[in-house]
Amino acid sequence: MTDAADQLRPITAPEWPRFHRAMVTTFGNALSGPYTETPPPIAELERSLALVDGDRIAATAGIYSRELTVPGAVVPMAGITWVTVAPTHRRQGLLTAIMRRQLDEVHAAGREPVAALWAAESAIYGRFGYAPAAQRGGWRGATERLRLRPDVDCGTGTVRLVELAGFRPAAVALHERLRRTVPGNLDRTDGWWERELRDDPEQRDGGPPRQLVLHTEPDGTVTGYATYRLTSRWSERTEPEGTLTVGEVRAGTATAHAALWRYLFSHDLVRTVEAPNASADDPVQHLLADPRAWHAAPVDSLWVRLVDVGAALSARRYPARIDLVLEVRDRFCDWNDGRWHVWGHPAGAFCDRTDRDPDLVIDIEALSAAYLGGVSLAALQGAGRVTEISPGAVVNAATAFRWPVAPWCPDHF
């Protein structure tokens, strides 16, 4: 497959319909939506890859240029997407060739110290150095039990349904402020907001239109927003069994957050509320009078891969002081292999090559998993993924790498 791998190349705009058809066919999706014939505005065709085989495209891949919030900072990120290999071309090294080409090019450009993706299949990407670094909560509960504690303060603001024209500017401003405080959050340019808020009937999987909500203080300041869908269902005995599916809830104050969730839990004709993509550590779980009413089924969301260990570890902040040497094992990107001196604290950090003896030995997957502050290096040591050389180094590193805010990525790409 070496010859075929050498034929990987970016596509042109006229090739998009074939490229798109190859993707949706491999994923088993319907060929529908507004961008079957022309690329969406967020597409970066210069960062795409395709293997053209006759009149068909047998493999696809792409990269989005995004910004990723990491502990205490924001870094450029290569968002890996569109990755497919047709069944006719599997087991021939194409996926490895795609991963190799993407990481080589990202490293050579030197702009993005981190790459990340959403894994369609979780057994695939570990061998290329990607690891799950954030979770979504998969929350679900019966409406009759979802009541807030009597001491919860919902403030004096107003929750109201709004149209898209009024929702978007307020949500954009609030998201831009809040996303910088939550590791795993991504930036949203105008193109990404357009994608986020599109609500074409063919994209709803038969569901109803999305509802948009703002929380406004008495002085008119918008301090929260939410999106959701309410699907009506009825039992054979004509009892309501509707489901309210939460899209996103963001709030700048505790009272706005509580008021939005009270609103979402208070709909008539609804028997179940679901929030599949909410943070696994959303504070709503601490607002409930019955903590067992809100059931979590956490699952991985964002998978992270450090492309440049030195730049990535220098960019983030550390809530506890760290001054350690990590011996990093990276079989796929040998430029990361070796010993790195990490020094940092809450206000700054640096990481550079060193010839000092290591305090810890760690593989790139484990380091990538811990990067956003949500996965414990001590737990990884327990799994045999981290080896302690200097006594106490794991406790020091695990404390320093953790972050008070759990990583969360609400943006699927």
Nearest to 316 by CA among 118, 169, 133: 133
Tokens 């493999």 locate to: 59
Would the pLDDT of 4 be above 70? no
Closest C-alpha to 306, from 362, 223, 250, 376:
362
Question: Residue 19 CB: number of other CB atoms within 10 A?
Answer: 23
Q: Please give the residue that has the higher pLDDT: either 205 or 232.
A: 232
Place of tokens 């369609």: 120
- Considering only 15-19, 207-211, 249-253, 299-303, which range has the smallest mean pLDDT? 207-211
What is the rounded CA–CA span in Å between residue 258 and residue 152?
7
Q: What confidence tens digit (pLDDT) does each residue in 27-62 have?
A: 988 888 889 999 999 999 999 999 999 889 999 999
pLDDT at position 175 over 90: yes
pLDDT of 410 above 90 = yes
Residue 411 dihedral angles phi and psi, to the nearest 5°: -100, 105
Question: Under a CB-based contact definition with an 8 Å cutoff, are residues 26 and 85 in contact?
Answer: yes
Cα–Cα distance for residue pair 9/19, rounded to 1 Å:
12
Outline where DSSP puts E strands in 199-293. 211-216, 222-231, 242-251, 270-275
Query: Do the Cβ atoms of 143 and 267 come closer than 8 Å?
Result: yes
- The single-letter code of the amino acid at 151 is D
Please give the mean pLDDT across all residues of the chain: 96
Average pLDDT over residues 128-148: 97
Establish whether 228 is a catalytic residue.
no
CATH superfamily to which 307-401 belongs: SCP2 sterol-binding domain (3.30.1050.10)
Can you spell out the DSSP letters for 195-209? HHH---GGGTTT-PP
**Mean of the pLDDT values across residues 223-242?**
91
Per annotation, catalytic residue among 125, 130, 225, 318: 125
**Pair 330, 307: CB distance under 8 Å:** no
Low-confidence winner among 18-22, 197-201, 400-404 (lowest mean pLDDT): 197-201
Cβ(384)–Cβ(392) under 8 Å?
Answer: no
* CB crowding 371-391: b at 16 or more within 10 Å, else e: bbbbbbbbebbeeebbebeee
Mean pLDDT (whole number) for 329-333: 98
Amino acid at 347: A
Average pLDDT, integer, range 101-117: 98
Is residue 66 very low, low, confident or very high in pLDDT (cuts 50, 70, 90)? very high
Q: Which of 128, 130, 167, 413 is catalytic?
A: 413
Say if residue 166 is exposed, middle or buried (CB neighbours under 10 Å; 0-12, 13-18, 19+).
Answer: middle
**DSSP label at residue 151:** T
Which amino acid belongs to residue 333? C
pLDDT at 238: 80
Sequence ranges of the chain with CATH classification 3.40.630.30? 2-112, 139-299
3: pLDDT strictly greater than 70: no
Q: Residue range 72-89: average pLDDT?
A: 96
Res. 227: pLDDT tops 90: yes
pLDDT, average across residues 122-129: 96
Domain with CATH 3.30.1050.10 in the chain: 307-401
Nearest Cα to Cα of residue 169 among 197, 135, 210: 197
User: What is the rounded distance in angstroms from the CA atom of residue 42 to the CA atom of residue 203?
Assistant: 17
Determine contact, residues 106/307, Cβ cutoff 8 Å: yes
Residue 115 reports pLDDT greater than 50: yes
Question: What is the distance between the alpha carbons of residues 258 and 148, in angstroms, rounded to a whole number?
Answer: 8
Rounded to two decimals, the pTM is 0.95
Q: Which of 133, 141, 183 has its CA nearest to residue 296?
A: 141
Q: Starting at the edge strand that comes first in sequence, how are the strands of the sheet with 294-295 ordered?
A: 158-161, 211-216, 222-231, 242-251, 270-275, 139-142, 294-295
Burial of 272 (0-12, 13-18, 19+ CB in 10 A): middle
> What pLDDT score does 242 carry?
95
- Does residue 167 carry a catalytic annotation? no
pLDDT at 30: 82
Distances (CA, A) of 176 to 228, 250, 252, 327: 20, 11, 11, 36
2-112: CATH number: 3.40.630.30
State residue 235's pLDDT score: 85
Is-contact 136 279, C-beta < 8 A? yes
Q: Work out the pLDDT band at 1, boundaries 50, 70, 90.
A: very low
* Distance, CA of 350 to chain centre: 25
H or E segment to which residue 294 belongs: strand 294-295
Whether 105 shows a pLDDT value over 90: the answer reads: yes
Give kind and range of the element (H or E) at residue 341: strand 338-345
Q: What's the average model confidence in pLDDT over 174-180?
A: 98
Tokens 């008070």: give the residue.
404
Q: Which CATH superfamily is domain 139-299 in?
A: Gcn5-related N-acetyltransferase (GNAT) (3.40.630.30)
The percentage of residues in the chain with a pLDDT greater than 90, rounded to a whole number, is 92
Please name which of 194, 272, 258 lies closest in space to residue 229, comparing C-alpha atoms.
272
| Residue 274 pLDDT greater than 80, yes or no | yes
